Amino acid sequence: MSAQGALLFARYAYPPNELGYCGPADASALLDTGATAGIERRARQFEGAWCYLEFLAEAAGLRDPLDERVVEAYWIGNDLLDQADSAALVDRMLDRFRGQIGGTWREAAHRARAHHSFQVFDVYPWAHLLRTSNNPTALTVLDQCRIRTGIVLDVNGESATVTSTPLSWNGTTMETGPPRQEAVRWSTGGRTLLDGISPGDRVALHWDWVCDVLTEDQVARVESLEARQRGALAGLAP
């Protein structure tokens, strides 16, 4: 098991786990940098993410679903995504998630990607709900659940102010709107998985949490994969 891969997984998985949306109880265990074996055990209980990690590792011929390259592919994106067949991914999901309701993933054998943006926009029911009913709550959930990028403006203790581009909805398509400022956290109770953040850093955001400091290439991958996913949905009937 890759310790670095486990910690990278925890950086992105902590925010929804803390909110109770996925994974086992006691999300604070994900912030224990000295207990990577425990993080691995917990990662297996994230039923959605773990399915993708296993699939990506198998497609790449890697034995460890928490290999750092695999974890990066799922949350951020890298060339391992190109080695994972779309139809095979949907077949795997049909086997694992027979009871999953909503979403458009069952018909996505030609476009599925083993990336978090696919889970957010195709597997979860929120995008379909937005497209069919203009539900404002759905747009908020999609905006926060996706991995979005931002730029740090200011750091104040365990909080930071960042600028990011929110999702917008015009009744037909989802786009990114004008930049906004938002307050986020990067640490809680003195516990964090980051070495620190500074004004000017390009960061990955998940819910109200700073997950990672990104390179320019990583920013481009996150944004292009999400744009691809939103574009694919735009071509579907409501």
- Is residue 66 located within the same domain as residue 118? yes
Q: Give the pLDDT confidence of 3-12 residue by residue, as tens digits.
A: 999 999 999 9
Domain boundary among 92, 127, 162: 127
With a cut of 80, say whether residue 99 has pLDDT above it. no
Which conformational region is residue 79 in: left (phi greater than 0), alpha (psi within -120 to 50 degrees), or beta? alpha
pLDDT score at 29: 93
Residue 133 lies in a domain: no
What are the tokens at 91?
């077949």
pTM for this predicted structure: 0.95
Q: Give the pLDDT confidence of 16-49 residue by residue, as tens digits.
A: 999 999 999 999 999 998 888 899 999 999 989 9
With a cut of 90, say whether residue 132 has pLDDT above it. no
With a cut of 70, say whether residue 238 has pLDDT above it. no
Q: Where are the alpha helices (DSSP H) in 25-122?
A: 36-43, 47-60, 68-75, 86-96, 116-118
Q: Whole domain around residue 63: which residue ranges? A: 3-127
Distance (Å, whole) CA 117 – CA 49: 11
Report how many domains make up the chain: 2
